[in-house]
Structure 1
Amino acid sequence: METYKTFEDYFSHFNEDVIEKLEQIRIDIKKEIPEVEECIKYAMPTFIFHKKNLIHFASYKNHIGIYPGPEAITFYEKELSNYKTSKGAIQIPLEEDVPLDLIKKIVQHGKERILKTTKTTNK
């Protein structure tokens, strides 16, 4: 398994078309939730929010995998019906456009879930 240190390092292993899709996912998530942090976890680009995993994404031979966790897959089941999904993953075929609006909704949902489960103190 490759060891990547940054999103750029990860992206550099793909062709221009794939890099463009990965960058668009990255840009749109950062626009949607500017306070996210970038890191590499499980050898994939990952966004964290309040020190918790918000979403992972990665490119494969025939698809881009989006990993928002099982709760988001269940919540957006109808909107994801055109994609292959599993317990916590969405597969977007490389020949298709990335559903950026749906990804933005999924990360907002994830942000809300994290905020609900994160204990805050009012000091």
Structure 2
Amino acid sequence: MTTISDHDAYIASAPEQFRPLLSGLRAQLARTLPDAEEVIEYGMPGFRIGRSIIASYAAFTKQCGLYLSPGAITELAEEIAVAGLKATKTGITFRASNPIPEALVEQLVLSSRKDVGL
């Protein structure tokens, strides 16, 4: 199994149809969390401040995921549902045909940051 060392390598290894989506999501996360460090944790690219991962993302065969604190998912559950997205306790899955709206990504990331006490 190949070890992914950074965000660029992760995106390059993702299914081709998701690469532009992941690149855009990465850029938005970096803008929203300018003081965060880009890391690879649990095999996924993420953004960490101190010891806390604020947001991570991943690509799978048929969909992508954005992973945040449970409090962020709970706080914005209605907005997630209105956007037609599926959520778990810590993540939101989405397809290239129905990405997470940028405004919602920003709300989720800021809520996740607040939820972890930063």
Q: TM-score, normalised by structure 2?
A: 0.88
Spell out the pairing of 1:102-121 with structure 2 (5 A cutoff).
102-115=104-117
Q: 1:67 deviation in Å?
A: 0.7
C-alpha contact 1:57 1:67 (8 A) present in aligned 2: yes
C-alpha contact 1:2 1:43 (8 A) present in aligned 2: no
Task: Give the Cα separation in 2 of the matches to 1:58 and 1:41.
Answer: 11
Structure number with the higher helix fraction is 2
Q: 1:51 deviation in Å?
A: 2.3
Task: Give the Cα separation in 2 of the matches to 1:17 and 1:98.
Answer: 16
Which AA in structure 1 matches 2:112?
G
Q: 1:56 deviation in Å?
A: 1.1
- Identity among equivalent pairs (%): 24
Structure with higher Rg: it is 1
Could you say which residue in structure 2 is the equivalent of 1:32? Answer: 32
Q: 1:97 deviation in Å?
A: 3.2
C-alpha contact 2:64 2:93 (8 A) present in aligned 1: yes
Q: 1:15 deviation in Å?
A: 4.4
Q: 1:93 deviation in Å?
A: 1.5
Could you say which residue in structure 2 is the equivalent of 1:54? Answer: 54
- Name segments (4+ residues, structure 1) moved above 4 Å: none
* Cα deviation code 1:36-71 (max 9, x no counterpart): 110001100111012211011101111111110211
Q: TM-score, normalised by structure 1?
A: 0.84
CA, structure 1 residues 83+2, in 2 after alignment: closer, same or farther (shift >3 Å)? farther
User: Structure 2, unaligned stretches of length 5 or more?
Assistant: none
Could you say which residue in structure 2 is the equivalent of 1:74? Answer: 74
Task: Give the Cα separation in 1 of the matches to 2:32 and 2:88.
Answer: 25
C-alpha contact 2:68 2:91 (8 A) present in aligned 1: yes
Task: Give the Cα separation in 2 of the matches to 1:17 and 1:99.
Answer: 18
Residue 51 of structure 2 corresponds to residue 43 of structure 1: no
Q: Report the aligned-residue RMSD.
A: 1.6
User: Structure 1, unaligned stretches of length 5 or more?
Assistant: 117-123
Which AA in structure 2 matches 1:95?
S
